[in-house]
Chain A
Amino acid sequence: MKLFFNFGQYFILIKRTFSKPEKRSIYVNRIFEEITILGIGSLGIVAIISVFIGAVITIQTAFNLQNPLVPLYGVGVAVRDSMILEFSPAIISLILAGKIGSSIASEIGTMRVTEQIDALEIMGINSAGYLISPKIIATVLFSPVLVTFSMFLGILGGYVFGLLTGVVTNYEFIYGITYQFIPYNVMYALIKAAFFAFIFASVPAYHGYYTKGGALEVGRSSTKGVVYSSVLILAFDFILTQLLLT
């Protein structure tokens, strides 16, 4: 019962979020603001995690490929495919759900409990549109950029650490990452990324927007927003993989 109620309320909020804005120029500025805060602000964490995961996949795969019958360029293939197919779109989205999702939920939740949302409504402004739509648009636009960045850095990390540790040679790695490369996979990853971005922006926004009470409840909304969006991302990862890759 509660689930259906949340579901309905969520869709009503999304509908209100994307109704006609009061003043387009202000909304456009808000989108750029949010891209700066939510998108550019996430470059650092995405970079660090991607480089290290790329490196770890390289070393582990090389370690597991000590069978002389399997060619070492398999390391390059493994890094490339794990980064593009799963790590960059899904795991980075989960990490962003934690970082961006919690910041969205707590910002909007705080605005709710301190009556800032009421103040917007009283001015005759559609608070959902003004607050939430720029965040969703910014993350959906920018998340594919972050994911592309992550793929690139992951493979680069694998390459650099692979060479430094000597588990793979330059030639094998480069041969591996170009071996039977399917460009559609990148497309598939970016579609997933945009879809997941919609989830980890809108679900925490929903929980923040309907926060009741005080500071304690803001924290709870933030946790709920992150947990629900993570579960939804995993579920849709499964569904989209089925739909897009088969």
Chain B
Amino acid sequence: MIQINNISKSFSGRSIVNNISFTFASGKVNMIIGESGSGKTTLLRCMVGLNEIDNGSVLFNQRDFFKLDLKGKKQIRKDIGMLFQGGALFDSKTVEENVMFPISMFTDLSESEKRDRANFCLQRVNLVNANKLYPSEISGGMKKRVAIARAIAVQPKYLFCDEPNSGLDPKTSIVIDNLIKEITEEYNITTIVITHDMNSVIEIGDQIMFIHNGANWWQGTKEEILVTDNKEVNDFVYATKFMKDLKSKF
């Protein structure tokens, strides 16, 4: 479980994240949604200390992250798997080496055990026969999948995914979404997924926070989000003709 309290962050005087509080449950897919530029990525980066926050606190299973010393922070970070918006794969390493990297860094497994673990993770994301390729040699969707495999390689307690299926075809998107859901439930992970894809929200969202202008504008479940009368949420949810048509049918 991760609790965030009153998190605020501004860049050179411009407020980007504005006093956000929320509790992200474990074993659930917690979704952060909102327009592009609303501050979703910034919030996620603040939560793990990649951006310094101006105000607020973050508790990972009751441990106050910003009150910990460097060693304590590292300890928590070892339990975090993160999927960056751009993948952030190590481009000097092959697909397999990317996934093996955190395993080598934090376990004392033998070379073949590490390889087995990496291959197990790569199979989980349906990526076979790409082990020896470099990130520059694979497609965007494959990169995302490698990044997920790397994020789950050392069995995280917390999994953060920043737009895991942007740039993917609809079919692969659903595969990735379901994979995230599955591992979340299987290992009781506290998962946070940033998306602006309503399909994902309906497919796997357990709890949803809607961010608007850097504030926690609305929160609820996927059933609630379809029937809320909050104007900004409605504008977002029913932005496409498809969703509008669907709504008028009910």
Cα-based distance from A70 to B203 in the complex (angstroms) = 91
| A window 123-180: CB within 8 A of B | 123-125
Cα-based distance from A189 to B89 in the complex (angstroms) = 41
B55 CB-CB contact with A under 8 Å = no
| B window 47-85: CB within 8 A of A | 48, 50, 74-78, 80, 82, 84-85
Count of chain B residues with Cβ under 8 Å from any Cβ of A? 22
Q: Is the CB of A114 within 8 A of B88?
A: yes
Q: Is the CB of B86 within 8 A of A115?
A: yes
Distance to closest chain A CB from B43 (angstroms) = 15
Q: Is the CB of A114 within 8 A of B105?
A: no
Kindly list chain A residues whose C-beta atoms are within 8 Å of the C-beta of B74: 124
Distance to closest chain A CB from B160 (angstroms) = 8
Q: Is the CB of B105 within 8 A of A121?
A: no
Q: Is the CB of A122 within 8 A of B80?
A: yes
Q: Is the CB of B89 within 8 A of A116?
A: yes
Cα-based distance from A116 to B74 in the complex (angstroms) = 17
Q: Is the CB of B91 within 8 A of A123?
A: no
Q: Is the CB of B50 within 8 A of A122?
A: yes
Residue of B with least CB distance to A23: B105
The size class of the interface chain A forms with chain B is 10 to 19
| A window 73-127: CB within 8 A of B | 110-111, 114-116, 118-119, 121-125
Q: Is the CB of A115 within 8 A of B84?
A: yes
Given contacts A22-B105, A23-B105, contact A122 B86 (CB under 8 A): no
Kindly list chain B residues whose C-beta atoms are within 8 Å of the C-beta of A124: 74-78, 80, 106
A26 CB-CB contact with B under 8 Å = yes
Q: Which of B76, B85, B91, B105 is in CB contact (< 8 Å) with A125?
A: B105
Kindly list chain A residues whose C-beta atoms are within 8 Å of the C-beta of B106: 22, 123-124
Q: Is the CB of A119 within 8 A of B84?
A: yes
Q: Is the CB of B78 within 8 A of A114?
A: no
Residue of B with least CB distance to A19: B70
Distance to closest chain B CB from A225 (angstroms) = 19
Q: Is the CB of B88 within 8 A of A116?
A: yes
Kindly list chain A residues whose C-beta atoms are within 8 Å of the C-beta of B78: 123-124
Residue of A with least CB distance to B90: A116
Looking at A114, A116, A121, A122, the one whose CB has the most chain B CB atoms below 10 A away is: A122
Kindly list chain A residues whose C-beta atoms are within 8 Å of the C-beta of B45: 118
Residue of A with least CB distance to B89: A116
Cα-based distance from A110 to B89 in the complex (angstroms) = 12
Distance to closest chain B CB from A73 (angstroms) = 51
Residue of A with least CB distance to B93: A116
Cα-based distance from A118 to B83 in the complex (angstroms) = 11
Residue of A with least CB distance to B104: A26
B141 CB-CB contact with A under 8 Å = no
Distance to closest chain B CB from A18 (angstroms) = 15
Looking at B74, B82, B88, B104, the one whose CB has the most chain A CB atoms below 10 A away is: B88
B140 CB-CB contact with A under 8 Å = no
Q: Given A116-B91, A124-B75, 9 other A-B contacts at CB below 8 A?
A: A116-B88, A118-B50, A118-B84, A118-B88, A119-B88, A122-B82, A123-B101, A123-B105, A125-B105
Residues of B within 8 A of A (CB): 45, 48, 50, 74-78, 80, 82, 84-86, 88-91, 101-102, 104-106
16 sampled A-B residue pairs with Cβ under 8 A: A111-B90, A114-B86, A114-B88, A115-B84, A115-B88, A116-B91, A118-B84, A119-B82, A119-B84, A122-B48, A122-B50, A123-B101, A123-B105, A124-B74, A124-B77, A124-B80
